[in-house]
Amino acid sequence: MVQDYGDTDGSRTGRNGDVVDENNVVIGVTPRKGVHKTGKLHLAVHVFMFNSEGKLWIEKRGQTVDTHPGCYDSSAAGHVSSGETYDEAARMESIEELGIDGLGLKPVYGLPIGPDTKNEFVRFYVAISDSKPQLHEDAASQELYALDEIDMKIRNGEKFVPAYLLLFDWYKRNAKAVVGKT
């Protein structure tokens, strides 16, 4: 039986998300906003959008977001709504956070639940586009960087979302294989 853990306010931010067990099987539904405070296991997507020169758009999170304010993050990221697939969520997050539809998103990796993912099963997508993203309301900035520039930011102690660091490290180790998929 699927348990309902609360209601939705109708906005995408207020939509419900699926609660899953440690095997990624849906066991309930909960409001997406504030899910990190509950510790419930849930689903998320991260999108790395590269330009044709191999530079990566990274977002600096605004100060009013509920987790990791002011930290650098993926080009787009967010929770999967209840009943939505990872692919649908990645497309919706790309539209909402980048203002771009039709990115040709390619799923390339998944992160298991854990403290660095804030109890999220994460599906990781990459895309290549020379479109400039629009800045969405929860972001402080969206900038384009070469991978070595991002490495320098990390070495200099700039703050990044922990899941981003895991995905960035994985991407650097597997870029040759991933590039063939994009």
So what's the pLDDT on residue 133?
A: 96
So what's the pLDDT on residue 41?
A: 86
Question: Is 3's pLDDT higher than 60?
Answer: no
Q: What is the mean pLDDT of the chain?
A: 87
**C-alpha pair distances (Å), 104 with each of 54, 57, 113, 155, 170:** 16, 16, 26, 31, 20
So what's the pLDDT on residue 14?
A: 55
Tens-digit pLDDT profile for residues 46-99: 999 999 999 999 999 999 888 889 999 999 999 899 999 999 999 999 999 999
Q: Is residue 180 part of a domain?
A: no
Give the containing element (helix H, strand E) for 57: strand 56-61
- Report d(CA 164, CA 48) in Å as an integer: 10
Q: Is residue 182 part of a domain?
A: no
Q: What's 8's domain CATH number?
A: 3.90.79.10
Overall domain count for the chain: 1
Q: Is residue 42 part of a domain?
A: yes
Q: Is residue 91 part of a domain?
A: yes
Closest CA to 81 of 43, 119, 55, 110: 43
Tens-digit pLDDT profile for residues 123-175: 999 999 999 999 988 899 999 999 999 999 999 999 999 999 999 999 999 98
Residue ranges making up the domain that contains 71: 3-175
Q: Is residue 122 part of a domain?
A: yes
Residues 6+ apart with CB under 8 A from 4: 28, 29
Question: Tokens 């039709």 — which residue?
Answer: 102
User: For the whole model, what pTM was predicted?
Assistant: 0.87
